[in-house]
Structure 1
């Protein structure tokens, strides 16, 4: 007798009117590779974000995210469950261990729909609730990535400063704009 395997998708950690954020699943490998394998996506990502973004790259990332403890990297989906990007945190160590970095990206097909703003706001609130010792979230934005700067400003992050000529991507030297959001700034906003 043959058995069927049900395709299970993890429950979302956050649901908004524009998106849901949930843990990665093995079924995300192919759509993630397709969405992330564009020069427009990698242009504002660190060099650790591979390009080309292959199926192997995607398998590695999904496995890494699914097995992390604590789990801090998630997939952004449209309300109907279509993969639309990624969002996560990078915990810091040493004296700034209570200051974590926020990172996110949204697939090109979903740009201009408010998904990044909705995801960044809801996820930031989730992070402060989930990690009680967290005092602050920080995001570094490449100097000419005005879309991401607008997202963070809409969410309530403050542009705190510019690290001049701090990064080099594909031979282009750019500023890095630092945005921060404090726990005290979001308490009671949910």
Structure 2
């Protein structure tokens, strides 16, 4: 009798913390990704490129896209026991801002309040500066009402730099857009403490 093939192992972690580890996406993530992302609370502060409802087809597209990137800049966040917990990634800048990249992340609802987002963001930021020597700055923006994500950024060492007033429109609401940055020459330590609603405006 032929042996039953075993599922392919997921990629090795790029970083590991006491609260999570971050690894490349794998085919086995399609189902967990679709289930975790398909909530209005997850997409509420995302760009409109993040679909809602979030279907298995959306998840399959994203997994294939992220797994095929070179260099890889979008990853899965997992709990210490290996459960899928969210996503984190970078968008490279262009033109004169090509050495400034944007970070975005989100964590599944069942993992809110455990400090995963801040822990992942702090470790991922350090990894990015190490892996990409030309990178000078990582930045992120949060909607004015998204206080939890602002706390995540601050705990990870990001500095609040300014407010773009009435800059975004989402689900019938006009919101300010708060800008955060982390500059290579000014390293700061994040505490990775607990947060409630971890997400920034990033596709996944």
Q: TM-score, normalised by structure 2?
A: 0.90
Paired residue for 1:47?
48
Residues 56-135 of structure 1: matches in 2 within 5 Å? 56-135=57-136
Once the two structures are superposed, residues 19-57 of structure 1 have per-residue CA deviations (whole angstroms, 9 ceiling, x without a partner) of: 000000000000000000000000011100000000000
> What TM-score comes out, normalization by structure 1 length?
0.97
2:160 is paired with a residue whose SS is: strand
SS in 2 for 1:31: helix
- CA deviations over 1:117-148 (Å, ceiling 9, x no partner): 00000000000000000000000111100000
Secondary structure of the 1:185 match is coil
CA separation in 2, counterparts of 1:49 and 1:4? 37
Aligned residue number for residue 140 of structure 2 = 139
| 1:186 Cα offset (Å) | 2.3
Secondary structure of the 2:182 match is strand
Q: Paired residues, what number?
A: 189
Q: Secondary structure at the match of 1:186?
A: coil
Partner of 1:2: 2
Query: Kindly tell me: are residues 20 and 47 of structure 1, through their superposed partners in 2, closer, same or farther at Cα, counting changes over 3 Å?
Result: same
Question: What CA distance in whole angstroms lies between the structure 2 residues aligned with 1:35 and 1:135?
Answer: 32
Contact 2:156 2:189 (C-alpha < 8 Å) held by counterparts: no
- Hey, what's the Cα distance between the residues in 1 that align with 2:34 and 2:186? 36
Give the Cα–Cα distance (whole angstroms) in 2 for the partners of residues 188 and 17 of structure 1. Answer: 15
Deviation at 1:6, TM superposition (A): 2.6
Instruction: Say yes or no: does 1:168 pair with 2:181.
Output: no
Shift of 1:188: 9.9
Unaligned runs of 5+ in 1: none
Q: Does 1:31 align with 2:6?
A: no
Distance apart, 1:185 and its partner CA: 1.8
Q: Unaligned stretches of 5+ in structure 2?
A: 191-204
- Structure number with greater CO (CA < 8 Å, separation at least 6) is 2
CA distance in structure 1 between the partners assigned to 2:92 and 2:75 by the alignment: 14
Higher helix proportion (structure 1 or 2): 1
Partner of 2:200: none
Could you give the per-residue CA deviations for residues 41-86 of structure 1, whole angstroms, max 9, x where no partner exists?
0001110000000000000000000001111000000000000000
Question: 2:198 matched to which residue of 1?
Answer: none
